[in-house]
Amino acid sequence: MDTIFQWGLDFIIMIQQIDTPLLDSFFRAITSLGDELFYLLLFPFLLWCVDFYLGIRVGIIFLLSVYLNNGLKEIFQQPRPFDILPQIQKVHAYGYGFPSGHAQSSLVVWGSIAYWKKQIWIRNLSVLLILLIGFSRIYLGVHFPTDILGGWLFGGLILGLSYFIFLKIKLDFIQGNMVYKIIGITLFPVILLQIQSSPDIISSVAALTGIGYGLLLFYSYVGEIQPGRWLQRLISFLVGVIGIGIIYLGLKLILPSEGQSFYQLSRFFRYLLLGIWISFGAPWLFIRMGLARQVEKKS
Q: Is the pLDDT of residue 161 over 90?
A: no
**Residue 92 catalytic?**
no
Average pLDDT, the chain: 90
Tell me the percentage of the chain whose pLDDT exceeds 70: 94
Q: Could you read off the pLDDT of 196-250 as tens digits, one per residue?
A: 888 889 999 999 999 999 999 998 888 788 888 999 999 999 999 999 999 999 9
Q: Is the pLDDT of residue 274 over 70?
A: yes
Q: Is the pLDDT of residue 177 over 80?
A: no
Q: Averaged over 143-167, what is the pLDDT?
A: 89
Residue 260 confidence (pLDDT):
83
Residue 143 confidence (pLDDT):
96
Segments making up each domain of the chain, as ranges: 1-167, 172-299
Which is catalytic among the residues 80, 137, 143, 181? 143
Question: What is d(CA 211, CA 273) in angstroms, rounded to the nearest whole number?
Answer: 9
Question: What is d(CA 32, CA 17) in angstroms, rounded to the nearest whole number?
Answer: 22
DSSP string, 8-70: HHHHHHHHHTT--HHHHHHHHHHHHTTSHHHHHHHHHHIIIII-HHHHHHHHHHHHHHHHHHH
**Residue 102 catalytic?**
yes
Tell me the percentage of the chain whose pLDDT exceeds 90: 66
To the question of pTM greater than 0.85 for the whole model, the response is yes
Of 73-87, 97-111, 198-212, 216-230, minimum mean pLDDT range:
216-230
Residue 299 confidence (pLDDT):
47
Q: Is the pLDDT of residue 259 over 50?
A: yes
- 267 CB-near residues (< 8 Å, 6+ apart): 199, 202, 203, 206, 255
Which is catalytic among the residues 102, 137, 181, 267? 102
Q: Is the pLDDT of residue 165 over 80?
A: no
Q: Is the pLDDT of residue 63 over 70?
A: yes
Q: Is the pLDDT of residue 175 over 90?
A: no
